[in-house]
Amino acid sequence: MFPVLILSLLALQDRPEIQGVESLTGRLARSGCWLPLKVRLASPLPFEGDLTATGDTGIRVTRSVRLPAGGTLSVILPVIAVGPGAKIEVVLRGPSGEVDRRPLAGPLEFLGETRLVLVDPAHTEAAALQREKMTVGKGTIPVRFVPSDPVDWNEAADMGALEIVDAVVASDRWTPDLTMNIWRGLGGALVTQPRRELPDRLGGKSGRFPAVDPASSPFRVNERWIPAKRESAMLFIVVYAFAFFVAVYVTWARKGSPWLLTVAAVAAAILFVAAYGALVPKGNVAIRVWQVQLVGPESPVAISVCVPWGPGEPGDLEFGRLVKPVHPTIAEATMRDLELRVEEGGRCKARGVASGSTTRFVVVERAAILPPAEREGANSGELEYFRPVFPLKGGAYGQAAGATVPPAVRGKGIVEVSVIRAIRIEVTP
């Protein structure tokens, strides 16, 4: 018995392990928003596998990890928590299955309207800010300060996992290295003089799209474009192939032998079929996009609501950045089994996407050039959905000319990706 126990302990020592799981925001969370985790890994042997974070919805986030022999690794991994009793777990899997599992310690404290500010521990006022009870918005909105290592801020912000945070206070040492462009474009504040800058910067709103939002339900597509296109293509090939064959027969019937006529007709039919094979839709899933374009003092951004539709089977969609799956009810968010794989370069692959489901994907991307706005109306429901990203100081909106499609939305069987409405917002400082 004792030798078996010793061998078991030795075997466990040779396995990779999760050394720790902590949140960049302490125990503070926002319901339905990304909670950025920092997971520390170690392995005595070379290891390749997957690291997955799960919360209290059907959405799980996975990143591939690779460790050399005797190596350690820190990984930023976002997760969504909705309810106060949410159990956050991180699972490490290898080629042969689960290797280790560890929960996030302690219960989460959910923020309402409270503003959350991460503070560089090296900042001269870090300790004083954590003791201070600051309020903004005419003294009605409290502010919470949480110490956090700035080394993780860029990665979490670039990934899109820092939406829970309203501002960061950085020391002069870190300020030149912190970009966080998209996060700042959505209203996030990067400050070095907190007492002077924070009261004004925290008065507005930061862009957040909860995982459960009934306002997402109007974004739907009721079209038969894909089956209609297939039927039209089939009718086209049948009618025109036959017509072309007849034309070849009538034209060449008296100018060549029967075998030459047959060869010509077959060649024409092959050419037509090849053209049809190149042009006909290869799949039966499409993407429709509603988009708002923010133009302001920080980096301009385009926020797109992507709706998969069509009669296709569940498949994979690949986005250029971490996407937020949004569902109209908590029941649907819980019962949908959806995996988001964060890959190299920040790409995000959504696995198990069912076209025609209630899942909506919110994508936030940096926009280099935005077209001028035309004074046309926009549906009030659409405006209401994008309202969380409106700063208190704002300008005109309307139908945007020349709207751009999210360029990195790809997937097997995607037929078409198109923006059906774009709204342009002028944000004043």
For residue 391, pLDDT over 70 is answered with no
323 vs 340: CA distance, rounded Å: 8
Nearest partner of 147 among 53, 238, 25, 38, judged by Cα:
25
Element (H, E) at 262: helix 258-279
Parallel/antiparallel/unpaired status of strands 141-147 and 59-67:
unpaired
The string of pLDDT tens digits covering residues 52-87 is 999 999 899 999 999 999 999 999 999 999 988 889
Instruction: Tell me how crowded residue 368 is: count the other CB atoms within 10 A of its CB.
Output: 9
Most confident of 151-155, 249-253, 347-351: 151-155
Dump pLDDT digits (tens) for 90-106. 999 999 999 999 999 88
Q: Domain 16-109, CATH 2.60.40.10 — does that match?
A: yes
> What pLDDT is recorded for position 112?
85
Across 366-379, average pLDDT: 66
Q: Residue 119: pLDDT above 90?
A: yes
Only one residue has tokens 């310690």, namely 105
C-alpha span between 59 and 354 (Å, rounded): 14
Model pTM? 0.81
Beta-strand runs (E) in 185-284: 189-191
Q: Which of 90-104, 114-128, 306-320, 372-386 has the lowest mean pLDDT?
A: 372-386
Domain residue ranges in the chain: 16-109, 111-201, 214-221+284-426, 225-279
Find the distance separating the first CA and the last CA of the chain, reported in whole Å: 72
> What pLDDT was estimated at residue 382?
74
Residue 327 clears pLDDT 70, i.e. is over it: yes
In angstroms, the CA 207 to CA 364 distance is: 10
Task: Using a pLDDT cut of 70, give the percent of the chain over it.
Answer: 74
Give the pLDDT band (50/70/90) at residue 13: low
Tokens representing 246? Answer: 């007849």
Decide: residue 388, CB within 10 A, 0-12 exposed, 13-18 middle, 19+ buried. middle
Mean pLDDT, the chain, whole residue set: 81
